[in-house]
Amino acid sequence: MKQYDYLIVGAGLFGAVFAQQATKAGKSCLVIDKRDHIAGNIYTENVEGINVHRYGAHIFHTNNKEVWDYVNQFAVFNRYTNSPVANYKGELYNLPFNMNTFSKMWNIRTPQEAKNHIAQQIAALNITEPKNLEEQALSLVGTDVYEKLIKGYTEKQWGRNCTDLPSFIIKRLPLRFTYDNNYFNDRYQGIPIGGYTPIVEKMLAGADILTNTDYFEFIKEHPDVADKTVFTGQIDAFFDYKLGVLEYRSVRFETETLACPNYQGNAVINYTDAETPYTRIIEHKHFEFGSTEPGTKTVISREYSAEWKPGDEPYYPVNDDKNSALYAKYKALADAEPHVVFGGRLGEYKYYDMDKVIESALACVAVQMDKINQYKA
């Protein structure tokens, strides 16, 4: 096998950005991924003419113009605005918590009326020092919003009662006293027309790619394949879990094609009661304003939060004190690896939105290229 400048482990967004910038700078890259496709968790596939987000809803949003301009090299983005709806036992509420939410909940009209309702409920609870997530949320939004829109959904996400979760998980809960259903406040927002996979394909155009390839098996057979490795997998797995196992939350999806043109009328509906087993239903055609004409089909995904155990697909780091302390120890080991760079959600054990992944990857590859230039000088 030929020798490369970089072996990039993981064909997700971090690995793809690194590869694109490195190959642009004249470096040779081999990108491997254990899955049977590129693009990681932002992978989209075409089903019935609909770009399906296989691993859950991905809406690109950022305030960083450099990142926005960078990603727009590879796709045209539509005007999609994230406006999820909450379903609580058949009652529908707009998210984020805004005047549409409060008007439906209390039959009020003005921001001051909403503020009064919330303030009265918070005062009646008399919570001075929240001891758990439930008390923290109640002290921020009052009883009604918590019971209908936070409690059941959060307990499904974490697999624990809110009274058993630490208060620091929720530092703030945005209350918006306007009739604006835009979930994000970012200046730039949208979804790439044609899905995310073509973006990653273009980013990886200058690299060699191997899918269905496990890094640990591959490196045994090809230990000298590259001068340097960019590792975007689990940092604890790289070190064979020798300091202990970092914890994650996982997610699973049940996806089906339906012989109806429009199942729920919105891309994302959260189910906030405890009894409904899934956390939300995604109807993928609405991300790109797909046809709802009679005779067309639709694709929906029910999303379930799941406990994670080694061997499962990790999605979200559990950044509590215990896991953060363990990650710090792994980070010290990583910093001592002169020929390995760690990046991405799993490599850095961080919850990253897509724009933050790109920021991190661009910064990382810039440092690597700078080091090479310094060495040459």
Residue 79 is a catalytic residue:
no
Residue 176 · residue 143 · CB < 8 Å: no
Phi-psi region at 95: left, alpha or beta (left = phi > 0; alpha = psi -120 to 50): beta
Residue 187 is a catalytic residue:
no
In the set 280, 283, 330, 359, the catalytic residue is: 280
In the set 155, 236, 288, 303, the catalytic residue is: 303
Residue 93 is a catalytic residue:
no
In the set 45, 144, 201, 353, the catalytic residue is: 353
Residue 351 is a catalytic residue:
yes
Residue 348 · residue 235 · CB < 8 Å: yes
What are the sequence ranges of the domains in the chain?
4-54+189-243+315-376, 110-169
In the set 6, 153, 183, 249, the catalytic residue is: 249
SS3 string, 282-304, reads EEHHHHHCCCCCCCCCEEEEEEE
**What whole-number distance in Å separates Cα of residue 257 and Cα of residue 248?**
30
In the set 55, 93, 153, 176, the catalytic residue is: 176
**Helix or strand (DSSP H, E) at 254:** strand 248-258
> pLDDT tens string for the chain (377 positions)?
779 999 999 999 999 999 999 999 999 999 999 999 999 999 999 999 999 999 999 999 999 999 999 999 999 999 999 999 999 999 999 999 999 999 999 999 999 999 999 999 999 999 999 999 999 999 999 999 999 999 999 999 988 899 999 898 888 898 999 999 999 999 999 999 999 999 999 999 999 999 999 999 999 999 999 999 999 999 999 999 999 999 999 999 999 999 999 999 999 999 999 999 999 999 999 999 999 999 999 999 999 999 898 888 899 898 788 999 999 999 999 999 999 999 999 999 999 999 999 999 999 999 999 876 654 53
Residue 172 is a catalytic residue:
yes
**What whole-number distance in Å separates Cα of residue 245 and Cα of residue 252?**
21
Q: What is the fold of 4-54+189-243+315-376? A: Rossmann fold (3.40.50)
Residue 303 is a catalytic residue:
yes
In the set 36, 79, 129, 172, the catalytic residue is: 172
Residue 249 is a catalytic residue:
yes
Torsion angle defined by CA atoms of residues 236, 240, 245 and 246, in that order, rounded to the nearest 10 degrees:
10
At residue 290, φ and ψ (nearest 5 deg) are -65, 165
